[in-house]
């Protein structure tokens, strides 16, 4: 069994959870000021947030965002005893979100120039380098539809460059926002990228325009909305993710793409008091979005981890000294990928086989899609960048737009999201559950490889570093129901 392997970009402090004290009529003593800390405060399921808000005020906290739809408050306080003082009647649970952000796994970006492309007889000059689009039969699908503009996809990520020539016409600007800090900011500058082009790359895979410039997206006829949930340090804090799901739900989006994790723990354990409030808040937000007609798609992760057999985690939290956690159970979940109703996507490379890094798991993976595999040609010795996924990029240092390669399940997720957007365009009216089922039914089944699978035995980390074993039959742990197929989804 593999232990989890995670890349991080920055560190943060550890999380804390408070126990309860009854609220009295005695004025609160003046608390010694500490650093301003953010909290999630949850009212009981189905209850309003009025009592919780009163307790927040009495405990020297300030409500910065109130999500009454799901009974969740985002709060800030400098009172070191806030978590203890706020708990009680009207508050189901409370947790500091300090340290609960997960550094976005950027992967390596290898930039290319449109002028250097050999081109292709199709409409876009860089299409010849988009092996992923032929794999999912995109030309045949585009002969039927390129997508409808009334289908809006929320890209919960690091922002989208609104000046990119392949994306400028594709963004639903009126529906875009920043959710960093758990508070919405609809200014265009707020939802543009600042320190990461991850969201710009993801958005291009979904909907880069058919305009004779650069690349094509899977569904260039639909619109994408930037819902920025990644802060400038590269972290996704729980309050930002909750805000993002609710924003998408309340602004007419039919799909969201989620190429990230919540919490510095690869696996968020519901039976851990430090993590349970985060699980509850995220689950409420996703259930609410589903009730509003949103299908949420999430990446499976890049740890080559069997999510169906969670045993040991020695790599979390990724924001400090890891703790060894053994004998884990299925109470420990990958968020948001393992929330019920979320479509979980694994990755394949140019051969159609599981990408060496892609996490997997029978009963967890729903479908697979191209995510790139830059190591299979050399059995792991070195990378071949053109076996990654080519899409739109934004250089955050020079502030210039471009195109480049990345690999990861962060890249496979938007392929599945784009196919789902095409399916909705061709067959409107499907509920999230119907659309999820349709995506699986139209996928092309792939069989498990025999024995232990490891395409990179010569990788520097060791000959068995990426061993994996597939289980299941027509539907299995590597590929779920199979490889998404754009043509099958629209005909």
Burial of 272 (0-12, 13-18, 19+ CB in 10 A): middle
410 is catalytic: yes
Q: How far apart are CA 468 and CA 356, in angstroms?
A: 9
Q: DSSP E strands: which ranges in 8-131?
A: 37-42, 61-67, 72-77, 93-96, 102-103, 110-112
Token pair 């979904």 in the structure block, residue: 206
H/E stretch holding 205: helix 198-207
198 is catalytic: yes
Residue in 410, 412, 425, 436 annotated catalytic: 410
Query: Under a CB-based contact definition with an 8 Å cutoff, are residues 335 and 266 in contact?
Result: no
Nearest Cα neighbor of 374 from 346, 348, 344 is: 348
Angle between helices 276-291 and 238-250 (to 10 degrees): 10
Which DSSP symbol is given to 450? S
Q: How far apart are CA 330 and CA 309, in angstroms?
A: 8
Residue in 137, 164, 198, 415 annotated catalytic: 198
Query: Under a CB-based contact definition with an 8 Å cutoff, are residues 23 and 89 in contact?
Result: yes
Residue in 60, 157, 313, 334 annotated catalytic: 157
Q: How far apart are CA 302 and CA 306, in angstroms?
A: 11
Residue 252: left if φ>0, alpha if ψ -120 to 50, beta else—which one? left
H/E stretch holding 487: helix 486-490
Q: How far apart are CA 489 and CA 435, in angstroms?
A: 10
H/E stretch holding 207: helix 198-207
Using only C-alpha atoms, what is the Rg of the chain? 22
DSSP line for 311-331: --EEEE-TTSS-EEE-S--TT
Catalytic residues: 157, 198, 410
């Amino acid at each position: 069994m593999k232990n989890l392997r995670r890349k991080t970009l920055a560190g943060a402090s550890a999380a804390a959870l408070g126990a309860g004290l009854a609220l009295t009529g005695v004025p609160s003593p003046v608390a010694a000021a500490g650093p301003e800390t953010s909290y999630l405060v949850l009212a009981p399921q189905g209850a309003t947030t009025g009592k919780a808000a009163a307790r927040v005020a009495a405990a020297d906290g300030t409500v910065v965002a109130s999500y009454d739809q799901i009974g969740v408050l985002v709060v800030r306080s400098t009172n070191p005893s806030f978590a203890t003082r706020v708990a009680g009647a009207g508050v189901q649970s409370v947790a500091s979100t300090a340290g609960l952000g997960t550094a976005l796994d950027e992967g390596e970006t290898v930039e290319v120039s449109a002028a250097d492309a050999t081109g292709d007889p199709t409409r876009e000059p860089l299409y010849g380098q988009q092996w992923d689009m032929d794999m999912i039969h995109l030309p045949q699908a585009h002969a039927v539809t390129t997508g409808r503009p009334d289908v809006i996809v929320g890209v919960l990520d690091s922002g989208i460059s609104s000046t990119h020539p392949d994306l400028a016409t594709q963004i639903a600007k009126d529906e875009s926002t920043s959710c960093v800090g758990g508070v919405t900011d609809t200014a265009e500058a707020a939802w543009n990228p600042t320190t990461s082009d991850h969201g710009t790359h993801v958005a291009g895979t979904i909907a880069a325009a058919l305009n004779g410039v650069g690349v094509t997206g899977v569904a260039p006829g639909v619109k994408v909305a930037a819902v920025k949930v990644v802060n400038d340090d590269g972290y996704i804090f729980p309050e930002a993710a909750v805000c993002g799901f609710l924003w998408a739900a309340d602004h007419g989006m039919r799909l969201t793409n989620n190429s990230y994790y919540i919490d510095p723990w690869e696996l968020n354990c519901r039976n851990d008091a430090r993590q349970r409030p985060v699980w509850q808040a995220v689950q409420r937000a996703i259930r609410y979005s589903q009730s509003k007609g949103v299908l949420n798609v999430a990446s499976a992760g890049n740890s080559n981890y069997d999510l169906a057999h969670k045993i040991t985690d020695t790599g979390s939290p990724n924001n400090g000294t890891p703790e060894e956690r053994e004998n884990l159970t299925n109470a420990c979940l990958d968020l948001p990928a393992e929330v019920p109703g979320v479509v979980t996507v694994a990755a394949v490379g140019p051969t159609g086989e599981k990408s060496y890094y892609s996490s997997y798991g029978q009963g967890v993976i729903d479908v697979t899609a191209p995510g790139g595999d830059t190591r299979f040609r050399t059995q792991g010795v070195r990378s071949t960048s053109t076996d990654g996924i080519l899409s739109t990029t934004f250089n955050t240092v020079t502030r210039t737009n471009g195109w480049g390669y990345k690999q990861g399940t962060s890249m496979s997720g938007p392929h599945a999201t784009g196919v789902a957007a095409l399916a909705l365009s061709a067959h409107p009216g499907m509920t999230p559950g119907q659309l999820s089922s349709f995506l699986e039914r139209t996928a092309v089944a792939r069989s498990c490889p025999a024995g232990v699978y490891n395409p990179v035995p010569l990788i520097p980390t060791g000959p068995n570093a990426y061993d994996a074993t597939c289980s299941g039959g027509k539907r299995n742990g590597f590929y779920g129901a199979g490889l998404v197929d754009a043509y099958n989804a629209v005909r």
